[in-house]
Structure 1
Amino acid sequence: MGFKEFKIYQMEVLHHAHALQLFCKHAFKMDSPPHDYVDISRDIIGKADGLPLALVVIGSSLYRKSKQLWKDTLKKLNLVPNQDVHHKLKISFEMLEDAQREIFLDIACYFIGEKRIHPHYMWKALDYFPRSEILVLTRMSLIKVDDFDRLLMHDLLRDLGREIVRQEDLQMPGKRRRLWCPKIALDVVQSRMGTENIIALKLIGLSKEQDFTSEEFSRLPSLRFLELEGGNLVGDFTNLLSSLRWLSWHRCPSDLHTVNLCLWNLVVLKISDSNIPKNWNGWDSCLANRDLKVIHLTRCHLSTVPDFSTCLNLKILVFDEHSPKSLQIGNSICKLERLKRLEIIAPPVQLSKLSESLDFDLFAVPSAIYGLKYLSSLKLEGQCIQELHPSIGEMVSLTCLSLRDCHQLRKLPDSIGKLRSLLELDLAQTEIIGLPDSIGYLKNLEKMSLDFTPIRELPNSIGGLQSLLVLDLLGTKITELPASIGYLKRLERLLLDQSEIRELPKAIGMLENLKMLFSQDCRNLEGEIPMEEWNLSKDITWPPELWTLSISCDDPRSLTRLPFTLRLLELSDVKLPLEEPFFSNLRYLRNLSALSLFRCRLKEVEFEQLETLHHLIVVECELLVRLSGLSSIGKLEELTVNSCSQLLEIRDLGELESLKTLSIQDCGSIERLPNLSKLHELRTLHLLHCESLQGLPDVPNTCHPYVHGCPTLCGSGDKLRDCRKCCKLRGYITAIFPTWFYGVPRLARPST
């Protein structure tokens, strides 16, 4: 197997003390080893060469394992050459049981970025125990499951998994179990070199669409995973693909050219970007298994939905970005008594075209949906629903209800309060003007989104939401919050950006778990946060756990009594100078690690005594000419300066000995940067669209510069030899507000 390009890079290694701490964090769940594990821990760390991934994976694999297994692991590491990272990681793979290895290899080859629940049903049909197996892989740090329930894996672990598969037979790909490279898979199928070993094929992204014959698939009796793009199946498929559990087909044909195709064991069916006619001849083949668990249709043109009478054990049914305007839901859906997730999501539509929006009215199908007693997640997004039927209260198993983008929905029925199991309620970008008092009965609700709705006030009963963690009021018409909001003792995140809030109640100080408070662009807010009488007040009470504060602020002098727990501070729209006393007043914020200045109308910013700051972002400060005082921020690791068109100078930049990342973008006036060669920690330098920049500064050998849109640097000779030219720069996207600043992804704001 040949490779067209190689990517050579120097992996960062940790010093011994940091390596020991990282290893122990995963091996013992503490910062140092027990006294009887000190020597063997140091030996294992030495063999891991300080590589963070190896330390994490090996440490996680040894957690709560016997001392003998520790000794065996060390012996195996002693046999591996120092630079052979794959073999060190493979030691953890070899600790896995058979089913865990199979799931790990499936993820490495096919399921990175896939929602966990979909392959879960495939693995369960293979008599694995995916819930516990995934937990083991996660605890061993071999995979991750993110907040969106997606399966993730480090690139090195992905490469390890694929290399393990490749080693099954170096010369004959047809004898390997998994083929994820489409060209190799196509060659094996068309040359009829497939064997019963093959369990998974990926045939997408080919230069042209391919038809596949029954004779070609007759050599693949063990196939359980198949991913196709375009093309067709041709011939008599009697007794073929009988082991198939997963079929994914992008641009599926509207007329299958096959006969006797019966997918008796299919568990997951995913079809996308396809035109499916009313009497499509593929439904009988695909819905033959009464234990089919997942039907996921994305961007498909559907005249009608199929008859679900043959797959009564369906768990997940998704129509994502369906068309045409009217999606006819047949009565057979009410037979899906075991259905847990139903999603009917319209394609994006501009507000100006709402009159042409998709037509789906719950009153037309009450029996078809409200009778699904086991349904736990219901998403009806972008539909023409004017109001919910009171029968919604009978769906007592619901944990998630999303009516996002239903632009005609104006109210909720009182029966919504009966959904006692509800964890998430999303009403964003609807026309909801108020909430019923019964909303307070949702004692288990953890997240409620009302962003960009015309709602003007919250009922006092909102204080009954004792489990609420996130309250999103972004862009609403709300002018004040009820005092009962102080009873939301578990609330961690409150978003008020772009709302019409005028003041905050003093009860805000009762929110003992509030960590994130966003209130930018609140035009009606009098004074700062909280109101004018709170400014400079000695008896101000901030939420005791507040660690993120994002506010618009004309005069920074009103912010002298910020909560000492603050870690992340974002200031926007500052008009008066940020003078030395302001920054010296921040000295008591011993936890402050990140500061962002956004859209501040300042000509100069001089920093002073911010000794704990690690991250500094300066964005869209169009009048800014000079940044100075950086030498007082001795621990600064990341500096981002974006869209400061008049910036001429960044003083003391060459003295930031801890700096690891420097990004300067769209600063068209800056002409020179100082010598950076003494910044030995600097790893990344991004210079984008700085048209006046006259020369690339000297940087340490460990630094990797990226230059794009800086025309005067094109002839910089040797200094540019390590830069990736514009045409090589792919995938670099500047994040104005990185996710580390907020702890969670920042909500996108629609353009105004």
Structure 2
Amino acid sequence: MVSPEINSLLDVGSNDEVSMIGIHGIGGIGKTTLDLAVYNLIADSFEGLCFLENVRENSDKHGLQHLQKILLSETLGEKKIKLTNVKQGISVIKHRLQQKKVLLILDDVDKIEQLEALVGGFDWLGSGSRVIITTRDKHLLESHGKYALQLLTWKSFKTEKFHPSYLNVLKRAVAYASGLPLALIVIGSNLFGKTVQEWESALHRYETIPNKDIQKILKVSFDALEEDEQSVFLDIACFYGGTNDKLADVENMLHAHYDACMKYHIGVLVEKSLIKISSHSKLTLHALIEDMGKEIVRLESPEEPGKRSRLWSHEDIIQVLEENTGTSAIKTIYLMCEDEVELDEMVFKKMKTLKTLTIKGGHFSKGPKHLPNSLRAVEWWRYPSEYLPYDFHPKKPAIIKLPKSCLTSLKLTDLLKFINMKILNFDDADCLTEIPDVSSLLNLETFSFEYCEKLITIHESVGFLDKLKVLSAKGCSKLRRFPPIKLKSLEQLNLSFCKSLKNFPQILWKKENITELGLEETPIKEFPCSFQSLTRLQTLQLHYCGTFRLPNNIFMMPNLVNITAWKSQGWILPKQDEGEQRDISIVSSNVERLHLIFCILSDDFFPSGLTWFRNVKELSLAHNNFTILPECIQECHFLTDLNLDYCQYLQEVRGIVPNLEIFSASHCRSWTCIDMLLNQELHGNRNTMFYLPGARILNWFEHRSSGQSISLWFRNKFPAIALCFAARSMLKESTITPNICSQFLDGTGSYIYFYLHKVKFKANLDEELVENEWNHVEITYNGKDKNSILIDSGIHVFKQKSCMEDIRFTKPCTER
């Protein structure tokens, strides 16, 4: 039975407008059941129907484009819906459903992007349409529906509170934006810190825009930018919005283009909500904002691409390059394609103000005979000539990247006259055999010649570039010697995969700034004494390095916190002199993260190894040969994460660290006596996740279940419990490896970890519960690998921390 309140909200008989209704609450309270009831009750009143189940899960698995296809297929009754991207899907939904009365139910939505892709505005559907959205996130509904005022307030004042004098202009802005989240975000960000009078003036300009065209709304915010900020925004919108370029790389290219630091300008664009910086340090922007920027540039010359300031469309660029229709208006070219290009050799002659040239694709039949001297940044993959044009003498060159080029060592000398060069890249240059004298490149900061497999010689001058910060010879497999280093500014050195390099370069400067050192698959067996000069070294990677000897001084390096070794044939630790007595805290290194995986470690490792690494917090000794984890492990007081997976000879664990949070020892076939780690007292006094060999639920877990999940009902307050899973892994050979896990859970924290899989609980979980009402909790199993199958599971309730009257393991009878 659907409640009168919901019937009233739906107002199915009305065909005047589109209505959206949001239902929010914790999982298991019946939101989906209510959806189905409403759907079955009112479906006959609509021309098109769609019930999109599990939007969160299906979006993660299949993407938003997949959901758009289902929406269109069900509402239109057409099976073969073809979409190339989400942007096209939005356009098709708006076009095909704008005149159709639709009932759309979106079940379990968890991201605003899902709503924006499926039903981004009231004008997407025909009059009388109804949209029902269920979610666990109340704030998501607030930003999309009737609480648009709160979203606008946050963007405008960075808080929910504001002076009452702003109320009318805020309501006016919400009414104008029709609740569209993107418009609210941009308007609010643009008017941050403005007076009421400035708000009224801006809203007047917004309201003069006919039909509330979002592109024109966004352009008002663009027009409010300073001229140089507008220019940077257009560059990002045209070239970097949909790429995988890292923020630092984009900043470098823009810095070279404008000869100025870009951090301030990018910060302004972020503040105005025109661009975003993702958690992976990449620039992103909304598709509508990107379109707005590209449209501004296109309108510079709608019919003739060669007269625009920026070219990004590969059709336009190829037309200009082949037909020689470029002009001095072009400032930047960014080409990404795999098409054949019949380059006009003199095409760049007319582009007298071209500053940035990026070509990351295309197959050119020949190279250019001229490049403009206005160029400041050149990135040309597979540059199609053995030389640069003879008259190429750029005035302010900052970046030259020519990966996979045909340049030879002889022709490389042509570049060395560019004294202002900051970034130089010749990765994958097949014909490069020698790095010549680079002493003239006094301002060089990044020098990379990775995977130049014919490179044999590096000139001594490479080791004396005072401003060099990043140096990479990764993958130069024939390089036998690296010159001595006196690089005062160097931060990153990568000599990984230099398979013929047996000696680490001598260090001639006492205070080197190197923080990262990569030596994967490089047969260096020990470091020189001068290695101790790397006092700022933080990360050392030693993968596939054969038998390796660590020098004594490596442990006296104050900033070295991360050592990773993988598949070494031996790991030789330094030894103290006989009879030498030292305080252990002085001897121990500052290493916090130590991974020694596949390093053939035996029992001999621990007496000295745990002394040297006593301050470690994260220790992985997986795939090694020791048989005992000794008591001295307890001296590692800061250790929180210990991994002994696949130590097939391990037979006994004699100690557990007090502060341990994760202990994993899966696939340890020889360790059969694990009783020490299974007693109830141990688990009741700690919050450690144990992942152990075994195939049975511990006796003190009162409630047990078979299958992929286990349930309980509680009321008033989430109980303090421990979980135990017994699982097995079905391997290719059909062998079975049983494992069990135990995890303490009390519901008061923000996160819970099951096999390193994160499940989020609201920090104020108890405040969300209705007093005296039963709440159903279903706990599902997520194995460490996709082959993991749950056998049994169990729950133990800590009675001293829980009210047993408020806990049930079978569905309680509710009073009617």
Calculate the TM-score normalised by the size of structure 1.
0.64
Deviation at 1:327, TM superposition (A): 2.7
CA distance in 1, matches of 2:692, 2:529: 40
Partner residue in 2 for 1:105? 234
Instruction: Find the residue that maps to 2:334 and give its secondary structure.
Output: strand
Instruction: Find the residue that maps to 1:174 and give its secondary structure.
Output: helix
Distance 1:258 1:607, change over 3 A: closer
Deviation at 1:474, TM superposition (A): 3.4
CA contact (8 A) 2:625 2:650 kept: yes
Partner residue in 2 for 1:575? 695
Counterpart amino acid of 2:259? D
Counterpart pick for 1:231 among 361, 364, 387: 364
* Alignment of 1:371 onto 2:486: yes
Please, which runs of 5 or more residues in structure 1 have no aligned partner?
348-356, 535-539, 620-630, 651-752
CA contact (8 A) 2:494 2:518 kept: yes
Q: Which one is further off, 420-429 or 84-93?
A: 84-93
Deviation at 1:180, TM superposition (A): 0.9
Counterpart pick for 1:428 among 536, 543, 563: 543
CA distance in 2, matches of 1:177, 1:450: 50
What is the alpha-carbon root mean square deviation over aligned residues?
A: 5.2
* Alignment of 1:388 onto 2:519: no
Deviation at 1:303, TM superposition (A): 2.0
* Alignment of 1:510 onto 2:663: no
CA contact (8 A) 1:248 1:269 kept: yes
CA distance in 2, matches of 1:393, 1:344: 20
* Alignment of 1:297 onto 2:430: no
Partner residue in 1 for 2:381? 250
Higher relative contact order (CA 8 A, sep 6+): 2
Counterpart pick for 1:220 among 337, 345, 351: 351
CA contact (8 A) 1:375 1:397 kept: yes
CA distance in 2, matches of 1:611, 1:458: 42
CA distance in 2, matches of 1:79, 1:495: 64
Instruction: Find the residue that maps to 2:321 and give its secondary structure.
Output: helix
Counterpart pick for 1:520 among 635, 645, 653: 645
* Alignment of 1:471 onto 2:600: no
Deviation at 1:194, TM superposition (A): 2.5
* Alignment of 1:482 onto 2:482: no
Partner residue in 1 for 2:581? none
Counterpart amino acid of 1:394? K
CA contact (8 A) 2:724 2:742 kept: no
CA contact (8 A) 1:443 1:464 kept: no
Partner residue in 1 for 2:520? 404
Instruction: Find the residue that maps to 1:599 and give its secondary structure.
Output: strand
Deviation at 1:447, TM superposition (A): 3.1
Calculate the TM-score normalised by the size of structure 2.
0.60
Partner residue in 2 for 1:174? 306
CA distance in 2, matches of 1:345, 1:316: 14
Deviation at 1:245, TM superposition (A): 1.4
1:180-199 maps to which residues of 2 (within 5 A)?
Answer: 180-199=312-331
Partner residue in 2 for 1:10? 118
CA distance in 1, matches of 2:212, 2:721: 38
CA distance in 1, matches of 2:338, 2:399: 23
The structure whose Rg is larger is 2
Deviation at 1:649, TM superposition (A): 14
Distance 1:252 1:570, change over 3 A: farther
CA contact (8 A) 1:226 1:248 kept: yes
Q: C-alpha deviations, 1:323-361, integer Å up to 9, x for none?
A: 21x4311234245332221110106xxxxxxxxx53332
CA distance in 2, matches of 1:149, 1:498: 34
Deviation at 1:316, TM superposition (A): 0.8
Instruction: Find the residue that maps to 1:394 and give its secondary structure.
Output: coil
Distance 1:85 1:484, change over 3 A: farther
CA contact (8 A) 1:24 1:59 kept: yes
Deviation at 1:266, TM superposition (A): 2.4
1:550-561 maps to which residues of 2 (within 5 A)?
Answer: 551-552=665-666, 558=678
* Alignment of 1:342 onto 2:471: yes
Counterpart pick for 1:541 among 655, 658, 663: 658
Q: Which one is further off, 96-105 or 83-92?
A: 83-92
CA distance in 1, matches of 2:713, 2:155: 35
Partner residue in 1 for 2:29? none
Distance 1:189 1:28, change over 3 A: same
Partner residue in 2 for 1:162? 294
Instruction: Find the residue that maps to 1:272 and give its secondary structure.
Output: coil
CA contact (8 A) 2:725 2:740 kept: no
CA contact (8 A) 2:729 2:788 kept: no
Counterpart amino acid of 2:596? L
Deviation at 1:475, TM superposition (A): 3.3
CA distance in 1, matches of 2:280, 2:154: 25
CA distance in 2, matches of 1:200, 1:233: 21
Deviation at 1:465, TM superposition (A): 4.9
* Alignment of 1:316 onto 2:441: no
CA distance in 2, matches of 1:83, 1:76: 12
CA distance in 1, matches of 2:294, 2:316: 14
Deviation at 1:533, TM superposition (A): 5.1
Counterpart pick for 2:559 among 420, 444, 457: 444
CA contact (8 A) 1:448 1:472 kept: yes
Distance 1:162 1:333, change over 3 A: same
Partner residue in 2 for 1:130? 262
Deviation at 1:390, TM superposition (A): 4.8
Partner residue in 1 for 2:812? none
CA distance in 1, matches of 2:588, 2:382: 49
CA distance in 2, matches of 1:330, 1:424: 27
Distance 1:495 1:86, change over 3 A: farther
CA distance in 2, matches of 1:196, 1:241: 10
Partner residue in 2 for 1:361? 481
Distance 1:63 1:119, change over 3 A: same
CA distance in 2, matches of 1:494, 1:62: 50
Counterpart pick for 2:459 among 320, 326, 330: 330
